[in-house]
Amino acid sequence: MTNPAPSNILPGLRLRQRFPLLALILERFVLSIILLFAVSILIFGGLEALPGDFATTYLGQSATPQAVANIRQDLGLDRPVTTRYVEWLGNAVQGDFGTSWASKNSVSEQIGKRLGNSLFLAGFAAVISVPLAVGLGMFSVHFRNRMPDKIINVISLAAISLPEFFIGYLLILFFAVKFGIATFPATVYDSMGFAERLKAIALPTATLVLVVLAHMMRMTRAAILSVMSSAYMETAELKGLSAFRAIVKHAAPNALAPIINVVALNLAYLVVGVVVVEVVFVYPGMGQYMVDAVTVRDMPVVQACGLIFAAVYIFLNMIADILAIIANPRLRHPR
């Protein structure tokens, strides 16, 4: 069987042959868009399938059927689901998430303020947790099976076992209530200075760092240990390279792909997982905004927050995939 002539090769196949890395990146991008589209259907369909609606919640149990029907008509809830989904998705793609049913404010404007707060909190937690986790992972490998390694493993296992709301309440109890050295609730506002903001978010940041640090540290340790069993690492040690320099110079760079994946997944968790932490610390971010909207069944807000959280999670996973492909020659040139 002969290979097809170059002119008969499909454009996609031709692109893959000439630019394999670009083809892989485009493939991940297209898959991410398809996944986000599927998630948008799940979000809209799932909220539609929930019993009850905003009109009933807003008017209370004593509302007459006619009053409920009037509000449903005003909100457009009497139109077919597919029509409303297409209209919602079309507007969302343009950055318009509609008007909040409860507050009558623009959802996009409110999300713009809240999303900045959530990203500030998650970003500050990432700045602390990522280098700390990678450093502790390398430190643990250097002292593997010795006392420092065992202590780090026990502490990380304990941190993984505790849910974030429990860690948050413990930090509030000790640092805000008993010792009075931290701020609670973690309220921030526009006129606040940078130092004041950092002080306000100290406890929620510490909670997020403790939640993701252990996972990232353990995965970093496992990835480096996997590389340490390679023949070239034994050669490096036989040449007289110290164990710590061998880890830093040879093992860590070759374990970069799995470390990037773990770090990216945990960064995605930092952004999406702030919901619980924001509620515990009464932090004015996206998570708190969504939970407030759920209590009054404010569907435009819940749909917008769900879609943005999904988009952030999918985007960071896509970035992790692309960086892993770039860092690993075997992924760049699959057989």
How crowded is residue 334: how many other Cβ atoms within 10 Å of its Cβ? 8
- Residues 108 and 116: their CA atoms lie apart, in Å, by 12
Distance CA 94, CA 184 (A): 37
What CA–CA distance (Å, rounded) separates 7 from 11?
Answer: 9
CA distance linking residue 200 with residue 195, whole number of Å: 9
Domain boundaries, the chain: 107-331
Position 38 scores a pLDDT of: 94
Q: Tell me: the pLDDT tens digits for 267-304? A: 777 777 778 888 888 888 888 888 888 887 788 888 89
The pLDDT of residue 39 is 92
At residue 111, the pLDDT reads: 86
Query: Residues 6 or more apart from 272 whose CB is under 8 A from it?
Result: 309, 312, 313
Q: Which two tokens stand for residue 203?
A: 């406890």
**pLDDT tens, residue by residue, 248-262:** 777 777 777 777 777
Q: Is the dihedral of CA 313, 319, 322, 325 positive or negative?
A: negative
CB 41 within 8 A of CB 335: no
Q: Which of 12, 50, 2, 21 is CA-nearest to residue 294?
A: 50
Nearest-5° Cα angle at 25, 22 to 31? 140
pLDDT at 40: 92
- The CATH number that domain 107-331 falls under is 1.10.3720.10
Per-residue model confidence (pLDDT) at position 245: 75
Q: Quick one: pLDDT at residue 1?
A: 45
- According to the model, what pLDDT value does residue 75 have? 77
Instruction: Map tokens 């252990």 to a residue.
Output: 214
pLDDT score of 138: 82
- What is d(CA 203, CA 188) in angstroms, rounded to the nearest whole number? 13
Tokens of 97: 């998430």
36 with 314: CB under 8 angstroms?
A: yes
At 326 the pLDDT is 77
| pTM of structure | 0.76
pLDDT, one tens digit for every residue, the chain (335 residues): 445 445 555 666 666 667 777 788 888 889 999 999 999 999 888 888 877 666 776 666 666 777 777 777 777 777 888 888 999 899 888 888 888 888 888 888 888 888 888 888 888 888 898 888 888 888 888 888 888 888 888 888 887 788 888 888 999 999 989 888 888 888 888 788 888 888 888 999 999 888 888 888 888 888 877 777 777 777 777 777 777 777 777 777 777 777 777 777 777 777 777 788 888 888 888 888 888 888 877 888 888 988 998 898 888 888 888 887 777 666 666 55
Residue 223 to residue 242: CA distance in whole angstroms: 19
